[in-house]
């Protein structure tokens, strides 16, 4: 079976290699970590038992923060190592953890490479954020009696049918998973349907609620306000945007500025992917707005010479600073069918938050926010204009939405400790800790 899987991987790699080459040459991606992708990973303290945490990209990496903090505090006998699949995920993990933990690229799931990675890492347990179970990894872990736990588990409306199409493969793979900690009852049922044993699936809520900052104080936000000369004028922040959305946002912004009371409105656009920064800069210029790139200000710790109408957030890791200064927030990748960006971050800060209809990656979060009147959904470009205008000209209404959103986030916190208790029960089956059901 492993030989067949390796052959399939080789075919996939050959088919995908032109795309990899294109992204490497023209998008500055896949330029580092190739030795680690081949399983050559070096731990800092190889004599200690090890917890291997894998998070695919930025959102999953961010969701590990409270768990990593609590493992470090409550289980100091373990070394933590953290892997990520994407360049942006690895960059975020390094920004959060490089000082204290080993951060590396997730190895290719070829059997030989994965065996090498296991020899180098020697994990006591593997924690996979949200899903990301790989066949050879699961087989080798089972062979070596190393438990695998899916934490913050999620099977979206888009991914679930795809796994159902290969149910025979998924059942064999998920049977090797020792524990699944699902975000919701619905996700738990989906994991069971795809082959996970029912007694190994527990609902814990989402770790992202715990990592969401609710105190409203964001380091560096005051300096950002100085750099862009933001005083009392309203700021509309469009964060985590994707292709096709920036034109809609710029068109809407132009219309908003013509409304009474919105003449001083300013806009900050923060695209999700760094390879699109130049493209979005060209779109802003084409729309005829004066703008500044935040990277230029940040690099020289300087301020603008005036008050640019639009600020392009073309740096990584600074979105929260923009959110903290916002009057109204639009969360991107939701007007077009891309599944959404994280809407917990602005709502936790108490910001009046809007998003489009395409939020299948954040289904549970959207449901509880809308039920609690803690955010607003804009169905299309016209609705985005109407609802954003409503929030801008009615500050009391916008404040109520923001307070409601913050309340919803706080009410759903608590997954970190439930997750930690469950992990301990797998590592130490005879421990008196009780697994939460």
DSSP string over 328-397: EEEESSTTTTS-----HHHHHTT-EEEE-S--GGGHHHHHHHHHTT-SEE--SHHHHHHHHHHHHH-HHH
Q: Per residue in 320-345, pLDDT tens?
A: 999 999 999 999 999 999 999 999 99
Domain(s) labelled CATH 3.40.50.2000 in the chain stretch across 221-411
Alpha helical stretches, state H, 372-394: 381-393
Neighbours of 329 (CB within 10 A): 29
Contact call for residues 70 and 416 (beta carbons, < 8 A): yes
Contact call for residues 203 and 212 (beta carbons, < 8 A): no
- Per-residue pLDDT for the chain (437 aa), expressed as one digit of tens each? 788 889 988 998 888 888 888 877 777 777 788 899 999 999 999 999 999 999 999 889 999 999 999 999 999 999 999 999 998 899 999 999 989 999 999 999 999 999 999 999 999 999 999 988 999 999 999 999 999 999 999 998 888 999 999 888 889 899 999 999 999 999 999 999 999 999 999 999 999 999 999 987 899 999 999 999 999 999 999 999 999 999 999 999 999 999 999 999 999 999 999 999 999 999 999 999 999 999 999 999 999 988 999 999 999 889 999 999 999 999 999 999 999 999 999 999 999 999 999 999 898 899 999 999 999 999 999 999 999 999 999 999 999 999 999 999 999 999 999 999 999 999 988 765 544 44
Domain(s) labelled CATH 3.40.50.11720 in the chain stretch across 2-7+24-212+413-427
Of the candidates 78, 80, 55, the residue with the CA atom closest to the CA atom of residue 68 = 80
pLDDT of residue 431: 62
User: pTM of the prediction?
Assistant: 0.85
Of the candidates 128, 203, 204, 207, the residue with the CA atom closest to the CA atom of residue 173 = 128
Tell me how long the chain is: 437
Topology, domain 2-7+24-212+413-427: Rossmann fold (3.40.50)
- Domain over 221-411 is classified CATH 3.40.50.1100: no
Of the candidates 141, 334, 379, 151, the residue with the CA atom closest to the CA atom of residue 238 = 334
3-state class (DSSP) for residue 320: helix
What one-character DSSP code corresponds to residue 47? T
pLDDT of residue 102: 96
Handedness of CA 193, 197, 202, 206 (dihedral sign): negative
Q: Per residue in 252-303, pLDDT tens?
A: 999 999 999 999 999 999 999 999 999 999 999 999 999 999 999 999 999 9
Contact call for residues 84 and 106 (beta carbons, < 8 A): yes
- Tokens 């075919």 sit on residue: 11
Report the alpha-carbon distance of residue 260 to residue 106 in Å, rounded: 52
Contact call for residues 101 and 48 (beta carbons, < 8 A): no
């Amino acid at each position: 079976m492993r030989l067949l899987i390796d052959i399939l991987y080789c075919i996939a790699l050959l088919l995908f290699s032109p795309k990899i080459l294109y992204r490497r040459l023209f998008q500055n991606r896949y330029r580092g970590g190739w030795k680690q992708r081949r399983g050559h990973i070096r731990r800092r303290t190889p004599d200690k038992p090890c917890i291997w945490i894998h998070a695919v990209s930025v959102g999953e990496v961010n969701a590990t923060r409270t768990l990593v903090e609590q493992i470090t505090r409550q289980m100091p006998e373990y070394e933590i190592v953290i892997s990520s699949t994407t360049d942006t995920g690895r960059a975020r993990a390094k920004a959060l953890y490089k000082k204290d933990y080993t951060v590396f690229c997730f190895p290719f799931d070829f059997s030989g490479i994965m065996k090498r990675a296991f020899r180098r890492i020697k994990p006591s347990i593997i924690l996979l954020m949200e899903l990301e179970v790989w066949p050879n990894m699961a087989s080798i872990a089972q062979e070596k009696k190393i438990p695998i736990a899916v934490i913050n588990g999620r099977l979206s409306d888009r991914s679930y049918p795809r796994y159902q199409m290969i149910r025979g493969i998924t059942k064999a793979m998920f049977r090797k998973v020792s524990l699944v900690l699902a975000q919701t009852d619905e996700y738990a049922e989906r994991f069971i349907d795809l082959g996970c044993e029912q007694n190994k699936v527990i609902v814990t809520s989402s770790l992202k609620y715990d990592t969401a900052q609710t105190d409203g104080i964001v380091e560096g936000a005051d300096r950002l306000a100085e750099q862009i000369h933001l005083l009392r004028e309203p700021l509309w922040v469009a964060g985590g945007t994707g292709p096709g959305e920036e034109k809609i946002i710029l068109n809407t912004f132009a219309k908003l500025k013509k409304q009474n009371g919105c003449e001083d409105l300013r806009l900050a656009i923060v695209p999700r992917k760094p390879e699109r920064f130049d493209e979005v800069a060209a779109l802003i210029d084409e729309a005829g707005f004066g703008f500044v790139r935040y990277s230029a200000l940040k690099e020289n710790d300087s301020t603008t010479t005036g008050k640019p109408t639009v600020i392009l957030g073309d740096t990584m890791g600074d979105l929260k600073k923009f959110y903290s200064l916002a009057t109204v927030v639009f969360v991107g990748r939701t007007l077009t069918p891309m599944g959404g960006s994280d809407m917990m971050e602005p709502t936790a800060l108490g910001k009046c938050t809007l998003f489009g209809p395409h939020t299948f990656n954040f289904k549970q979060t959207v449901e509880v926010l809308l039920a609690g009147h803690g955010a607003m959904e804009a169905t299309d470009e016209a609705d985005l204009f109407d609802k954003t205008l409503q929030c801008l000209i009615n500050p009391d209404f916008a404040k109520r939405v923001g307070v409601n959103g913050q309340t919803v986030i706080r009410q759903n916190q608590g997954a970190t400790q439930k997750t930690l208790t469950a992990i301990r029960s797998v590592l130490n089956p005879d421990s008196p800790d009780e697994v939460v059901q």
